[in-house]
Structure 1
Amino acid sequence: MSRLRSLVADTRPLENPHFKRLWRANIVTVVGAQLTVVAVPAQIYADTGSSAYVGLTGVFGLVPLVVFGLWGGALADVFDRRTILICTTVGLIGTSGLFWLQSALGNTNVWVLLSLFAVQQAFFGVNQPTRSAVLPRLVPIEQLPAANALNSTVFMAGGIAGPLVAGALIPVFGLQWLYLIDTVTLLATLSAVVRLPSMAVERAAGVAARAPGLRSVVEGFTYLRGHPVLLMSFLVDIIAMVFGMPRALFPEIAHESFRGPEEGGIAFALLFAAIPAGAVIGGVFSGWVSRVSAQGRAVVVCILVWGGAIIGFGLAVGIAGAQDDVGVRHAFLVVAVLMLVVGGAADMASSAFRSAMLQAAATDEVRGRLQGIFIVVVAGGPRVADVAHGAAAAGVGTAVAATGGGVLVVVLTVVAALAVPSFVRYRITRAAGPV
């Protein structure tokens, strides 16, 4: 029994009442947020019948997320972080309420919907780096990987449950109810952040706060340049996501390699669900992450596993595409999905360690800006991967594009580790209690 307990998720961070309230609130709010993620493109397509307009959600979502993610990190290094969380949560509730209102009034103007989506992502961009910067003030340093794993597990589980719930509710209740559910569930997060203690930034003696403008954002990048271990945590994530995230190929792979219908089907759904499912499984059995002190080495190993899993995925896709026997293709579909599940679990662990390194190794007065950069990298990397993999597949095919991407992840990660050995040697210093 004790061995099993050591394998499952480390729940010690939940002993902190503030973290526990935030985490419990996330369980419902993440699902609610995913309902809106599904509802917005569904409404745009229903109103316009155009996938091109649906594709604009990428632009209207990413640009404010990048701009306000960076600026939000600068804000979090100046103002009380509890106050920022309250204001941005109220903003998210307000935009979700406006989504519901425009739907209830029968709005069909796509630009109104896209503008609301951009405003929502701006509030999200400020909220997320602030929330991450708060974490080291709530739990001890050695529990940060466990806390990040718990948060990632909830996020990924919501990414699976939200679309399933949305798919079941849309035909019965319509889109406006999805927006309303999102609005109501956000009240749980508001209740949790209101009950946080004051979170004023802790500064070294004689260090004054700088106005949260462009110069402050630039200082965050300058700080990274002087800390190669932290800089490497971003670089290896970019390598893993840009070269090793083949999600843009899933529709073509499902149709061409596994003979699914053009509009979707079981293979399509399994491919898209596999990485989040792996992350959830990895989160459930993440008890080991709290016992790892050599976090730099752990990140490298996790990304190598991710790259190896993507290589296996690409090979399975290539073999399946050459088969005429349905049973053989189905067998390799199982192999491909399992490879993505393994990759998702490895990526969850890598993310937990990298987040903990940023939160623990940086001083409090720059944590917000570094978390802002982290949000931009996490959001931007997969989108760059979509473009890169799509272009590569057009030239060499999906199997070679996916396999080659995995090979590049392995090779470039090894090169980066050899170039910056201090990253591989990075270990945490155990602390007696919260910062």
Structure 2
Amino acid sequence: MTAWSAITTRFKHHAVDTRPLRIASFRRQLVGQGTSFVGAMLTQVAVPVQVYDLSNSSLQVGLVGLVGLLPLVFFGLYGGAIADVMDRRTLYLISSLGAWAVTLGLFAQTAAGIGSVPLILALVAVQSAFFAIASAARGAIIPRIVEPDLVPAANTLSFTVGNLGQVLGPLIAGVLVTRHHGFDYAYAADALLFTVALYAALRLPSMPPDGTAPRAGFRSVVQGLSFIAGEPVLLMSFAVDIVAMVFAMPRALYPEVAAERWHGQVGPLYAAIAIGAVVAGLSSGWIGRIRRQGVALTIAISGWGLCVAASGLAHQLWLVVMLLAVAGAADLVSAVYRQTILQTYAPDAMRGRMQGVFIVVVAGGPRLGDLRSGATASATSVTFSWVAGGLVCVIAVAVAALVVRPFWRYDAQAAIAGSDLPIALMVAEAEPGLSAEQATIGRNPG
């Protein structure tokens, strides 16, 4: 083998797995998701910066996370139950339209010069509800349009594209809100870019339920939570993420730190974690080959906490961004494994509810983290809140992983071999001209 051939082989071995892009429905979803994430990050940066601009308080910035938490929890859990009993495409489209309408509301209140923090918080709460339902439906869609062995690759592509949006969005938003206070421009751009995601949702195939899930309601939600409680692997995959986000997510501190140290340059801080995640995603070919995903998840989250703690001690902007980028790379690995464990461990009739809990944890954890970090900074200092949270994360996750042995010993290949993912028919529907038999065989290159 020549040196060039060896280099090419090694590159293919580690480069991101793009096989899911052969599926048209997934490809459209990926484009729509990436575009909408750019817009969503414009809003996610503009809201806390606008609140800080109006109130000059990190505690009130932390309240942005709190007001979105309760609707996120309720509608995430209930939306997941609905996703198990109705067409997931329809649910995804309706909830996405609702979130889009709220973004227009944020634009309208800013353009009108109202300047009301309570109004902004109310709109954030409503948007959080629609976001929770849409996310539960979207997460349950992926395993219906790709084969089980491609689920890790599909999740990696989704997270990578999403993180690319989280790089571009904050950088653009940082220019708008820092130099021009262009909060209305940020919200308007978000609404415009989100139309691509709406188009992708319209083009999805119909995804009716399999008929085995109970009627959506309190009992079905409890059934989903009981399922998680009885499965140590699933329970731990949620628990470690809650710990990581509640204790080691410093984003509520960004506006104050940027104002005090770097003349308000907040954009690079909001983009830093996503930059690292994008780099990790582009070199993620190895992720799907790891069998001991519990071990890998523990190492990734521990790395996240250490890098966050170190970044809190740095005072040069470039060094903070670099350390947060490394933390973001670890978070990308963590996110892929958590989502993959969930999608391959739970039966399809339970998957909507599992995704509901997933989005409550994934999106709710950072909101609690905003409140925790903002309140701690107000009582102590920004540096203490930032650094201590990262260290607590490392210690708590390491102890939990050692105590819950089934999670530490989790074997991904064994779980996939025993899964009941009924994907052949859905793949055939997503790819016109492809039979269910061909879909079952798969789409390996060559």
Q: Residues 142 and 428 of structure 1 are in contact (CA less than 8 Å); yes or no, is this contact kept in structure 2? A: no
Contact 1:309 1:342 in 2 (8 A): yes
What residue in structure 1 maps to residue 18 of structure 2? 11
In terms of mean alpha carbon deviation, does 35-44 or 339-348 score higher?
35-44
Aligned to 1:364: 348
RMSD across aligned positions (CA): 3.2
Q: Is the 8 A contact 1:78 1:212 kept in 2?
A: yes
Residue 165 (structure 1) aligned with residue 187 (structure 2): no
Q: 1:387-412 deviations in whole A, cap 9, x for unaligned?
A: 44456567776656555444433333
Tell whether 2:37 aligns with 1:37. Answer: no
The offset of 1:82, in angstroms, is 0.9
Question: What is the number of residues matched between the two proteins?
Answer: 410
Q: Summarize deviations over 1:323-360 as a string: whole Å, max 9, x none.
A: xxxxxx64xx6555433222210111011010011011
- Residue 122 of structure 2: aligned partner: 115
Are positions 1:242 and 2:256 aligned together?
no
For the Cα contact (< 8 Å) 2:49–2:255, is it kept in 1? Answer: no
Could you say which residue in structure 2 is the equivalent of 1:305? 303
Is this contact kept in 2: 1:139–1:433, CA < 8 A?
no
The answer for the alignment partner of 1:197 in structure 2 is 205
Which position in structure 1 is the counterpart of 2:292? 294
Report the counterpart of residue 223 of structure 1 in structure 2: 227
Residues 102 and 20 from structure 1, CA distance in 2 versus in 1: closer, same or farther, beyond 3 angstroms? same
Q: Determine which of 264, 271, 274 is the counterpart of 1:273.
A: 271
**Counterpart for residue 264 of structure 2:** 264
CA distance in 2, matches of 1:284, 1:113: 36
Q: What's the secondary structure of 1:287's corresponding residue? A: coil
Residue of structure 1 equivalent to 2:397: 413
Indicate yes or no: 2:161 matched with 1:154: yes
Shift of 1:17: 0.8
Q: Deviations over 1:224-253 (max 9, x none)?
A: 111111011011112222333344455666
Q: Secondary structure at the match of 1:279?
A: helix
Q: Which moved more, 1:410-419 or 1:54-63?
A: 54-63
- The one-letter amino acid of 2:292's match is A
* Alignment match of 1:70 (pick from 54, 73, 77): 77
Unpaired runs of 5+ residues, structure 2, are 1-7, 425-446
Distance 2:324 2:50 in 1: 30
Whether 1:422 and 2:429 are equivalent positions in the alignment is: no
Q: Which of the residues 341, 360, 377 maps onto 1:376?
A: 360
Q: Distance in 2 between matches of 1:44 and 1:402?
A: 20
Q: Could you tell me how far apart the structure 2 residues matched to 1:384 and 1:358 are?
A: 22
Q: Is residue 130 from structure 1 mapped to residue 137 from structure 2 by the alignment?
A: yes
When residues 12 and 434 of structure 1 are mapped into structure 2, their CA distance, relative to the original with a 3 A threshold, is farther
Residue among 314, 317, 333 paired with 1:349: 333
In structure 2, C-alpha distance between the alignment counterparts of 1:53 and 1:414, rounded to whole Å: 32
Aligned residue number for residue 102 of structure 2: 95
Cα drift, residue 254 of structure 1? 6.2
Q: Deviations over 1:155-181 (max 9, x none)?
A: 222223223323445677954444333
Aligned to 1:184: 192
**CA contact 2:62–2:374 (8 Å) conserved in 1:** no
How far, CA to CA, are the matches of 1:254 and 1:339 in structure 2? 16
- For 1:314-329, list aligned pairs within 5 A: 317=313
Taking the aligned partners of 2:131 and 2:344, their CA distance within structure 1 comes to: 23
Corresponding residue of 2:323: 339
CA apart distance, 1:269? 5.2
User: Structure 1's 304 and 165: CA in aligned 2 closer, same or farther, altered over 3 A?
Assistant: closer
One-letter code aligned to 1:289 = I
* Aligned 8 A contact 1:140 1:433 in 2: no
TM-score (normalizing by structure 1): 0.82
The Cα shift of 1:69 comes to: 1.2
Per-residue deviation, residues 248-288 of structure 1 (Å, max 9, x unmatched): 45566668xxx825x534xx654443322211211121121
Pair 340,97 (structure 1): closer, same or farther in 2 beyond 3 Å: closer
Query: Structure 1 177/144 Cα, relative in aligned 2: closer, same or farther at 3 Å?
Result: same
User: What is the rounded CA distance, in whole Å, between the counterparts of 2:406 and 2:120 in structure 1?
Assistant: 47
Q: Cα gap change, 1:185/1:387 in structure 2, threshold over 3 Å: closer, same or farther?
A: closer
Residue in 2 that maps onto 1:326: none
**Native 8 Å contact 2:170 2:271 kept in 1:** no
In structure 2, relative to structure 1, the CA distance for the partners of 1:146 and 1:164 (3 Å cut) is same
Structure 2 CA distance for aligned equivalents of residues 42 and 50 of structure 1: 9
Q: Which TM-score applies when normalising by structure 2?
A: 0.80
Amino acid at match of 2:155: N
Answer yes or no: is the 8 Å Cα contact 1:148–1:356 preserved in 2.
yes
Deviates more, 1:83-92 or 1:354-363: 83-92
Deviation (angstroms), 1:121? 2.0
Distance 2:352 2:104 in 1: 28
* Aligned residues of 2:62 and 2:370 also touching (Cα < 8 A): no
Three-state SS of the structure 1 residue aligned to 2:215 is coil
How far apart in 2 are the matches of 1:39 and 1:389?
Answer: 19
- Between 130-139 and 183-192, the greater mean CA deviation after superposition: 183-192
- Letter aligned with residue 260 of structure 1: R
Paired position in structure 2 for 1:57: 64
